[in-house]
């Protein structure tokens, strides 16, 4: 079969148009379930095979690493199908990944003398680093005093303002002369204190304090050879604009760029796209304004509207609408289309309503899509648990659902999701499922810290770091002390939390006896002694009481500790608690291990950037505790085997996922739409910069379009069963 025929096999007319379009610039307005990832993968394969574009001249930006892995898999599949036997089917020099990952890679490649040893600092690690220098080097205590906020609220306000400057490419700083010092300590502190923010951020006390801390923080990053998500993008643009030779080479290369989820990009990312494509490169932008849900982080839905207007008018550009939805039944599609009509227009952009694309996926009964009302959240949660048991009986085949090949299968628990607006709302539903004997996993970001198994090891890690009490704002339901009180009903002291969490796990039937709990507590205290005293414990302690050889070696080593590995410590504690026995417990055991895997990924993010000294270790754990419980988000591993359990998730965390059955819960005034949606964040900025960066745009508009888009995303996650409850 000819290459063109292979790449166009079983595509709709609109999909074919998107794959083969010869236009230099293309906007693919891709509705939910329209097969956009497949279209992007085939377009890239078309460029390679038909257009003879070198692989190293192709760049594809995805919103997450999970999406990048899916994209790579599909591109390889199509390259393999069209490549003669014996020839190379690898991606070669093609880049497929996140924008910040691309920027760091290019900084290292283009200017290796300056950036060869730099790493990206993720949000959790950044929180730990800032807390380390909060009162000292960064001077954030001055900003805290000027705003009247608590420590973590000050950190959140500072980082949001800092990110906004970078995401609008408005951050201009003057660093001291010379290279950032490698030697940490006094030399680092003095160098950082000489940094000066040149951007005019206002003249209020809070703005002046912010300017000092922002300059020092950027200098602090440079000394530690880090960049964070936002600064990596503006840093690359700044260096590229100043390097005319590199800019010229990019223009000669004629990059072919694909940008996924273009409805959620920010101004600096738009600027980067323009730089890379220029007047000679090619751009395929893919997105759906109805699914723009990250305005609160700085994404500008107006960007996709501007592209639509520009591409409609330009002779070298085109717009292709992917209207068919291959995911959902006709009734779900019709409901989502009706809801989309309530979303305000984005500039003059028009989008066709979705059409039913999967002819084998039809509605089998009116009751499969329903709106249900209750007097209380507890009644609602109980009904959801009962409904799930009807859809997925414990000892019988689940409700009928079609497969991709047209045959049928029974639903399993992993086909079911309960979606909520906010992660603070999930515990009621967890408890109802638990009473019904239905295992569940939480994908709701920070609500991971409301799981007893997570609190068990969070407490153990806190003990290893010498934390005597968990700290958090009493009025914030997401704070760790409030989560502990809600789940365990005990004081926020690590040792107390460890014991109470152990008892809570025993009540669920997990094999976790008193000996394992006491051994975990003793191991945590021993690790603290080893790190704090920095000497072997063999003189006064018999390390053979522990079951883990690596832990025994760590405690008995006579070598001076110059660095520690938080992930390694976590795994030694897991081994000492014998959590491997939980893997034999279907349902609750699998869910517990899933949650601990998510905690492990948070810890990995904390330790990834380089060196964790014994002095830094406590601050990394404190950062994990504060960031994880209030803002923590982990990206699921793309090939991770999921347990057979119901997913409880926020809508934001469910973006890009699909489920046969969706229960959209707690759709009530003040909670959905959120009562906070229209509140403009109070950032430590004043004057003209506030208007220029449209800080007010971080809040929702009068029509609650951001919340309406969020509900649209929830509705379009459902394949066959959709229940909206209030």
pLDDT in tens, 439-458: 998 875 667 888 899 999 99
Q: Mind listing the pLDDT tens digit for each residue in 73-119?
A: 999 999 999 988 877 778 989 999 999 999 999 999 999 999 999 99
Q: Can you list the positions of beta strands (E) in 421-544?
A: 440-442
More confident residue, 183 or 576: 576
List Cα–Cα distances, 224 to 120, 185, 192, 221, in angstroms: 11, 11, 11, 5
Residue 483: what pLDDT?
A: 87
Q: Mind listing the pLDDT tens digit for each residue in 369-428?
A: 999 999 999 999 999 999 999 999 988 899 999 887 778 899 999 999 999 998 666 888
Give yes or no for residue 509 having a pLDDT over 90: no
Highest mean pLDDT among 5-9, 293-297, 336-340, 650-654: 336-340
Give yes or no for residue 175 having a pLDDT over 90: yes
More confident residue, 324 or 479: 324
Residue 691: what pLDDT?
A: 96
What is the mean pLDDT of the segment spanning 700-719? 97
Q: Tell me the C-alpha distance between 215 and 194, whole Å.
A: 9
Residue 443: what pLDDT?
A: 76
CB count within 10 Å of CB 196 equals 15
Q: In which band, very low, low, confident or very high, does the pLDDT at 477 lie, cut at 50, 70 and 90?
A: confident
Residue 609: what pLDDT?
A: 55
Q: In which band, very low, low, confident or very high, does the pLDDT at 544 lie, cut at 50, 70 and 90?
A: confident
Q: Tell me the C-alpha distance between 369 and 387, whole Å.
A: 13
Q: Mind listing the pLDDT tens digit for each residue in 259-289?
A: 999 999 999 999 999 999 999 999 999 999 9
Give yes or no for residue 608 having a pLDDT over 70: no
Radius of gyration of the chain (CA): 26
More confident residue, 588 or 530: 530
Q: In which band, very low, low, confident or very high, does the pLDDT at 639 lie, cut at 50, 70 and 90?
A: very low
Residue 669: what pLDDT?
A: 82
Q: Looking at 112-204, list the stretches that DSSP marks H as alpha helix, in order from N- to C-terminal side.
A: 112-115, 123-132, 140-147, 151-167, 186-193
What lies within 8 Å, CB to CB, of 650 at 6+ separation is 419, 420, 421, 422, 423, 443, 444, 445
pTM, full prediction: 0.91
Contact indicator for 40, 284 with CB cutoff of 8 Å: yes
More confident residue, 295 or 623: 295
Give yes or no for residue 563 having a pLDDT over 70: yes
Share the mean pLDDT of the chain: 91
Percent of the chain with pLDDT over 70: 96
Residue 444: what pLDDT?
A: 58
What is the mean pLDDT of the segment spanning 708-713? 97
What domains can you pick out in the chain, each with its CATH number?
3-103+237-322 (3.40.50.300), 119-224 (no CATH), 366-439+643-725 (3.40.50.300), 449-620 (no CATH)
Q: Tell me the C-alpha distance between 373 and 395, whole Å.
A: 29
- The residues that bridge with 287 in the sheet, in sequence order, are 29
244, burial (CB in 10 Å: exposed 0-12, middle 13-18, buried 19+): exposed
- The residues that bridge with 649 in the sheet, in sequence order, are 419
Q: Tell me the C-alpha distance between 708 and 630, whole Å.
A: 24
pLDDT-wise least confident of 48-57, 163-172, 574-583: 574-583
Give yes or no for residue 583 having a pLDDT over 90: no
Residue 357: what pLDDT?
A: 95
More confident residue, 583 or 685: 685
What lies within 8 Å, CB to CB, of 475 at 6+ separation is none
> Residue 43, Cα to own-chain centre: how many angstroms?
27
Q: In which band, very low, low, confident or very high, does the pLDDT at 638 lie, cut at 50, 70 and 90?
A: very low
Q: Mind listing the pLDDT tens digit for each residue in 512-539?
A: 888 889 999 999 999 999 998 888 777 6
Q: Tell me the C-alpha distance between 645 and 641, whole Å.
A: 12
More confident residue, 106 or 584: 106
What is the DSSP-derived secondary structure letter of residue 589? H
Give yes or no for residue 460 having a pLDDT over 80: yes
**Entry field: residues in the chain:** 726
First to last CA, the chain: 54
Residue 308: what pLDDT?
A: 98
Percent of the chain with pLDDT over 90: 71
Cα 163-169-173 angle, rounded to 5 deg: 80
Contact indicator for 26, 320 with CB cutoff of 8 Å: yes
């Amino acid at each position: 079969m000819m290459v063109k025929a292979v790449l166009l096999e079983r595509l709709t007319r609109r999909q074919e148009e998107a794959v083969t379009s010869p236009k230099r610039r293309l906007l693919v307005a891709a509705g939910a379930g329209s097969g956009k990832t497949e279209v992007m993968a085939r377009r890239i394969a078309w460029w390679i095979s038909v257009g003879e574009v070198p692989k190293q001249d192709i760049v594809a930006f995805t919103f997450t690493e999970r999406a990048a892995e899916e994209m790579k898999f599909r591109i390889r599949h199509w390259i393999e199908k069209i490549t003669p036997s014996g020839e190379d089917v690898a991606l070669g020099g093609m880049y497929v990944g996140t924008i910040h990952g691309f920027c760091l890679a290019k900084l290292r490649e283009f200017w290796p003398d300056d950036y060869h040893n730099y790493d990206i600092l993720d949000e959790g690690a950044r929180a730990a680093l800032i807390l380390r220098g909060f009162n000292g080097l960064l001077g954030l205590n001055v900003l805290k005093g000027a705003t009247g906020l608590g420590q973590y609220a000050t950190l959140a306000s500072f980082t949001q303002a800092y990110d906004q400057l970078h995401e609008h490419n408005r951050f201009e700083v003057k660093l001291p002369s010379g290279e950032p010092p490698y030697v940490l300590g006094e030399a680092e502190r003095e160098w950082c204190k000489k940094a000066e923010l040149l951007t005019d951020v206002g003249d209020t006390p809070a703005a002046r304090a912010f300017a000092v801390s922002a300059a020092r923080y950027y200098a602090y990053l440079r000394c530690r050879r880090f960049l964070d998500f936002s600064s990596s993008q503006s840093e690359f643009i700044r260096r590229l604009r100043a390097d005319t030779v590199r800019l010229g080479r990019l223009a000669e290369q004629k990059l072919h760029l694909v940008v996924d989820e273009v409805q959620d990009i920010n101004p600096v990312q738009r600027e980067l796209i323009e730089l890379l494509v220029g007047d000679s490169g090619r751009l395929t932008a893919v997105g759906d304004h109805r699914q723009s849900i990250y305005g609160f982080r700085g994404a500008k839905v107006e960007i996709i509207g501007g592209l639509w207007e520009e591409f409609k008018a330009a002779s070298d550009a085109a717009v292709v609408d992917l209207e068919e939805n291959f995911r959902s039944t006709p009734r779900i599609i019709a409901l989502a289309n009706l809801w989309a009509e309530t979303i305000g227009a984005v500039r003059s952009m028009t989008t066709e309503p979705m059409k039913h694309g999967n002819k084998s996926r039809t509605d089998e009964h009116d009751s499969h899509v329903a709106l249900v009302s209750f007097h209380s959240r507890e009644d609602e949660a109980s009904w959801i648990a009962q409904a799930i048991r009807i859809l997925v009986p414990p000892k019988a085949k689940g409700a009928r659902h079609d497969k991709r090949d047209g045959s049928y299968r029974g639903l399993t628990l992993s086909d079911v999701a309960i979606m909520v607006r906010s992660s603070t709302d999930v515990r009621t539903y967890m408890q109802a499922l638990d009473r019904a004997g239905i295992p569940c996993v939480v994908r709701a970001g920070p609500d991971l810290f409301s799981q007893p198994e997570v609190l068990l090891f969070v407490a153990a890690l806190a003990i290893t770091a010498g934390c005597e009490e968990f700290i958090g704002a009493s009025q914030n339901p997401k704070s760790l002390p409030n989560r502990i009180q809600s789940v365990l009903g005990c004081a926020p002291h690590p040792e107390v939390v460890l014991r109470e969490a152990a008892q809570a796990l025993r009540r669920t039937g997990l094999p976790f006896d008193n000996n394992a709990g006491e051994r975990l507590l003793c191991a945590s205290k021993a690790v603290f002694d080893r790190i704090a005293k920095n000497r072997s414990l063999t003189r006064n302690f018999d390390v053979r009481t522990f079951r883990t050889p690596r832990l025994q070696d760590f405690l008995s080593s006579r070598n001076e500790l110059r660095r520690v590995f938080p992930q390694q410590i976590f795994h030694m504690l897991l081994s000492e608690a014998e959590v491997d026995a939980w893997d034999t417990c279907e349902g609750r055991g699998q869910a517990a291990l899933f949650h601990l895997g998510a905690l492990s990924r948070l810890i990995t993010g904390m330790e990834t950037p380089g060196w964790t000294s014994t002095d830094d270790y406590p601050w990394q754990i404190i950062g994990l505790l504060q960031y994880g419980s209030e803002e923590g988000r982990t990206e699921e591993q793309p090939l991770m085997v999921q347990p057979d359990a119901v997913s409880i998730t926020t809508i934001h965390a469910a973006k890009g996922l699909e489920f046969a059955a969706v229960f959209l819960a707690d759709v009530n005034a003040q909670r959905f739409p959120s009562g906070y949606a229209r509140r403009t964040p109070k950032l430590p900025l004043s004057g003209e910069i506030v208007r220029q960066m449209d800080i007010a745009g971080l809040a929702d508009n009068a029509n609650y379009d951001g919340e309406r888009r969020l509900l649209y995303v929830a509705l379009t996650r459902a394949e066959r069963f959709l229940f909206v409850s209030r």
